[in-house]
Amino acid sequence: PLDIVDGIGLPELLAKRTTGLMQPQLAPAIERATRKQFPDGIAAYGTDALRFTFASLATQSRDLRFDLGRVAGYRNFCNKLWNAARFVLMSTEAPLANGPEEFSAYDRWIRSRLHGTIAAVREAFTAYRFDLAAQAVYEFTWYEFCDWYLEFSKPVLQSDLMDAMLTALTVESGNDQTSSSLVTRHSVREQSSTCAASGLTILLAEDHPVNQALATRLLQKWGHHVMVAGNGREALAALDAQAFDLLLTDIQMPEMDGLALATAIRAREATGGTHLPIIAMTAHALKGDRERCLAAGMDAYVAKPLQPAELTKVMADLMPSRPAAPPLPSAAPAPEADRATAFDYESALGRVEGDRALLVDMLNLYLDSSVKLTALIQDTLRSQDARGLERAAHTVKGAVGTLSAQKAFEAAVRLEECAKARDFRQAGEAWSTLEQELQCLRHAIDSLMKQETR
């Protein structure tokens, strides 16, 4: 183990493996095998990577097949974790200027995912399944904390030092007339608009930060006040704290899903209380979904990605005396570009009610994340990580679906299905198709961005 932790050169490794043998005649064969397997010796992987590898391999009634490739992978994971922790600590050393601040939607989401991970790790430890505990920690840290939460937080964290300096200079100069306040150092601040007098107070139960941001932005544009819960348990706690006019809930969420949430709410109402309208949201438009939602006590059902026209119609049908949204503005014409085969500009623009600035923000967000997602898919294909590949394909599917990139969406669906079936031969072919579609989409977006900046 020390050679894996500290590393060892080929001459020293050969000497160690061929010295003091009980069968000296085997020394030449051992030397040839060692030179073939470790031509450059063994690299230094560190203690953390070795420990995590043993944990990931440890399960009952299983022979361990130790592979240095897995140690190398977990060394990258440990480095990622160290860099992420260092980035956060370096960006949050200064005290909060205005005292404790409320958690944003992104904070609540990552906390809900963390609670789910803690529960999974405890359950695995109880069953002595250290491999499942290691897997839960790995997937949370890599796919949710680093790939999503920190990426949303970076723009705020990186600019926060300058904000703190400007605030300090303002206070020292005695100029306290500014009405702006610092963005929190540990989150992305929710941008809230002033609610219209007739606006609804809406509880949004959704665990994915991108979907949270889009739904919140649309509802606030329509003059509603929105509170976000990361799962069903948080939604129930919010309902205990205050009254809401409407609940908009995802179906698949950690800890407590949307169906269980609706059932719990209706059980409470049976003992007294007013009826809370509930609208279900789901990306799984499968046969029977609507019936399951209605059977759980929900009042209506909309598909994801959200279509503003569909959502406003459902809200208006549920509460005809309360305006769901102002009249839709006429969409701006699409800039000239050859992108008809890459994504449907008019459909994507309609999804954000003609708000070209919001669409540009979404496109930029996609461009920022697409390189990382591409690399992640390639890594999971090389390592034949079926679960990781399925998650990555699902993430791509959601992103390109929101942009109305139908061909890329269909290719991502096929890749996700191959990952579920653990068919890596077909997955390689599916990825080749998806990669081509993503390149076409990127070229189309780049073309659009150039015209938007003219």
pLDDT single digits (tens) 323-376: 555 544 444 444 443 444 677 777 777 777 777 777 777 777 677 667 777 878
Mean pLDDT across 230-235: 86
**156 shares its domain with 251:** no
Per mean pLDDT, which range of 79-93, 257-271, 317-331, 383-397 is the poorest?
Answer: 317-331
* Statement to judge: residues 52 and 32 lie in one domain: no
The pLDDT assigned to 160 comes to 45
Strand, helix or coil for residue 228: strand
**126 assigned to some structural domain:** yes
Looking at the fold, whether 112 and 83 belong to one and the same domain comes out as yes
pLDDT at 314 over 50: yes
Which of 117, 150, 170 finishes a domain? 170
Average pLDDT over residues 428-444: 87
User: Are 30 and 52 in a shared domain?
Assistant: no
Q: How many CB atoms lie within 10 A of CB 241?
A: 9
Other C-beta atoms within 10 Å of 149: how many?
Answer: 22
C-alpha separations of 379 from 122, 279, 413 in Å: 29, 38, 19
Q: Is the dihedral of CA 410, 415, 418, 423 positive or negative?
A: positive
The whole domain housing 31 covers: 2-37
The pLDDT tens digits of the residues spanning 181-229 come to 333 333 333 333 333 335 788 999 987 666 776 787 788 778 788 888 8
Q: Which residues contact 43 (CB under 8 A, 6 or more apart)?
A: 7, 72
Res 187: pLDDT: 35
User: Does residue 316 sit in the same domain as residue 417?
Assistant: no
pLDDT of residue 383: 82
Write the pLDDT tens digit of every residue in 7-50.
889 889 889 888 888 888 899 999 999 888 888 888 888 888 88
Residue 128 in any domain: the answer is yes
Residues 220 and 312 in one domain: yes
pLDDT in tens, 361-420: 777 767 766 777 787 888 888 888 888 888 788 878 877 877 788 888 889 889 989 998
Q: In this predicted structure, what is the pLDDT of residue 249?
A: 92
Residue that wins the pLDDT comparison between 153 and 271:
271
Let me know if residue 442 belongs to a domain: yes
Percent of the chain residues topping a pLDDT of 70:
75
CA distances from 298 to 53, 262, 318, 334 (A): 45, 6, 11, 38
Per-residue pLDDT band for 120 (boundaries 50, 70, 90) equals confident
CATH of the domain at 387: 1.20.120.160
Q: Which of 6-10, 261-265, 285-289 is modeled with the greatest confidence?
A: 261-265
Task: Assess whether 236 and 305 both reside in one domain.
Answer: yes
In a domain, 178, yes or no: no
What's the rounded Cα separation, in Å, for the pair 232 and 263? 11
pLDDT at 454 exceeding the cut of 80 = no
Residue 343 counted as domain residue: no
Write out the H or E segment, with its range, that includes residue 406: helix 406-420
Residues 27 and 7 in one domain: yes
User: Residue 262: what pLDDT?
Assistant: 93
Judge contact between 272 and 264, C-beta under 8 A: no
Question: Domain with 85 in it: what CATH number?
Answer: 1.10.730.10
Q: How confident is the model at residue 174 (pLDDT cuts 50, 70, 90)?
A: very low
Same domain, 131 and 166: yes
State residue 370's pLDDT score.
75
Domain-embedded: residue 179: no
Mean predicted lDDT score pLDDT of the chain:
75
Percent of the chain with pLDDT over 90: 7
What does residue 282 show for φ and ψ, rounded to 5 degrees? -155, 145
Sheet with 300-303, edge to edge strand ranges: 225-229, 201-205, 246-250, 278-282, 300-303
Structurally, the chain folds into a number of domains equal to 4
Q: Is the pLDDT of residue 163 over 70?
A: no
Contact 369, 151 (CB under 8 A): yes
Assess if residue 191 is contained within a domain.
no
DSSP per-residue string spanning 67-134 = -HHHHHHHHHHHHHHHHHHHHHHHHS-SPPTTS-----HHHHHHHHHHHHHHHHHHHHHHTT-HHHHH
**Whether 22 and 122 share a structural domain:** no
Report the alpha-carbon distance of residue 346 to residue 204 in Å, rounded: 27
- Please indicate, yes or no, if residue 340 is contained in any of the structural domains: no
Residue 415, pLDDT score: 92
The residue ranking higher by pLDDT, 91 or 412, is 412
CATH code for the domain in which residue 300 is found: 3.40.50.2300
| Domain identity same for 371 and 320 | no
- 129 shares its domain with 232: no
Judged against a pLDDT cut of 80, whether residue 133 lies above it is answered with yes
